[in-house]
Structure formats: C-alpha cells, structure tokens
Chains A and B, each alone.
Chain A
Amino acid sequence: MFEYIVSKYNYWVYIFLMMLGLYGMIGKKNLVKKLIGMNIFQVAIILFYISIGSKVGASIPILTAEDLHGSANPLHYMNPLPHVLMLTAIVVGIATTGVALGIIIMVYNRYKTLAEDEILEIRKKSGV
C-alpha cells in the first residue's frame, strides 16, 4: 500500500492541483480569482502529461554526438511527444488567458465591479 502511494506521488500532486483549480473556478466569487483557478487547473494537466513522458534513468531529449545516425536507444532519452503537445498547450493557454482578461476588463467597464454576485444583482435590478 505504502509502495503504491510512493510509486505514483506525481499523480497525487496533480490530482490535488486539479481539485484546487476546480474549487477556485466554482467557489470563488471574484472573476480574476476564477481565472487564477483556471490557470492552476491547466498547469495540473500539463504536469500530468510531462510526468507521463518521463523515464527512470533517461536523459533530456537532445541526442548526444555518438547517437546521431540512427543508433539511439529510446530508453536513454525522455519521451519527446508529451513535451511537444504541452509546448502547444502552454502557448494556447496563455492566449485564452489574454482573451479572458479582455472580457473581464469589458465586464468591469460596464458594471464597475468584479464580484459575480454583485453583477447578478445589478442585472436583476435593471431587469435584463
């Protein structure tokens, strides 16, 4: 049992970060706090993929001089595929964060507040 827990410790940390991000998105009222929760959630997924790609006793995915011509042993290098996918995911995540911050600025210009419940109150009062 203890060995089982230790052999998968990265998965426990990623599960905890995912729960933290989900709580931030659901439980917090402030819109910027919701966005911070979304960032944490995204980082948890990236951590999951990166930890899938790692191998015990392997090196970084850059070939050394003697392995250049097709003689590389795949056990000596990390799996490069999750790294590539997460490279894309990080940049796209920052782009979505930027769009979300733009929407937050527009919401603030219209309602003069960032709290979700106050925005709902104003909308209910004005009959929208």
Chain B
Amino acid sequence: MILPLDLILLLFVVITGIAALQIKDLLGATIILGSFSFFMCLIYTEMGAVDVAFTEACVGAGVGTVLFIAAVHKTKRRSKD
C-alpha cells in the first residue's frame, strides 16, 4: 500500500473509464478498455492480490480485448454516441 501510487492509478482508471464510454470509434473504445483493464491489474498488484492481477492481465485485458476486436470487425465500427 503506497498511497500516492494508489491515487495516481485510481485517477488513471477513472480517466480511461470515462474515455472508453465517450469515444465514438468502437475500435478505439475497445483498446482504451484494454488499457483500463491493465490499470486495474496494476491496482490489484498494488493491493496485494497477485493472482487476481495476472488473471486480469491475461484473461480480462488479453482475451477480452481480442473478443471485442473480433466482434467489432464483424459488425460496424462507427457509433453515434
């Protein structure tokens, strides 16, 4: 537990979360969601949950991003909101 590092990481998480919801390009939103997952992984490591952190890094950020990109590739990339 290092308080300044924790606060900086939580700030990054909030910023990437807002950006993932607001970007109109769905591919960009997906990539930003992947970076959101990686920042969450850093927070888990920092809180002492190493097993959760590497599960999140390979399953949440890796496989999740791949699934999202495959779905966006099969459908439309533009979004109106």
Q: A residues touching B (Cβ–Cβ < 8 Å)?
A: 9-10, 13, 16-17, 20-21, 23-24, 28-30, 32-33, 35-37, 39-40, 43, 46-47, 50-51, 53-54, 56, 58-62, 78, 82-83, 86-87, 90-91, 93-94, 97-98, 101, 104-105, 108, 113-115
Q: What's the A-B contact tally at a CB cutoff of 8 Å?
A: 130
Interface readout for B30-64 with A: 1 if CB under 8 Å, 0 if not?
Answer: 10010011001001100111111001100110011
Please count how many residues in chain B sit with their CB below 8 Å of the partner chain's CB atoms.
42
Taking A32-B71, A56-B1, A94-B64 as contacts, is the C-beta distance between A113 and B76 under 8 angstroms?
yes
Residue B14 is within 8 A (CB to CB) of chain A in the complex: yes
Q: Could you say which residues of chain B place their CB within 8 Å of the CB of A58? A: 48
Q: Closest approach, in angstroms, between the C-beta of B72 and any C-beta of chain A?
A: 7
**Pair B10/A13 contact, Cβ less than 8 Å:** yes
Q: Could you say which residues of chain B place their CB within 8 Å of the CB of A40? A: 17, 20-21, 33, 36
Taking A9-B7, A104-B71 as contacts, is the C-beta distance between A20 and B26 under 8 angstroms?
no
B interface, by DSSP: helix, strand, loop or mixed? helix
Q: B residues touching A (Cβ–Cβ < 8 Å)?
A: 1, 6-7, 10, 13-14, 17-18, 20-21, 26, 29-30, 33, 36-37, 40, 43-44, 47-52, 55-56, 59-60, 63-64, 67-68, 70-72, 74-76, 79-81
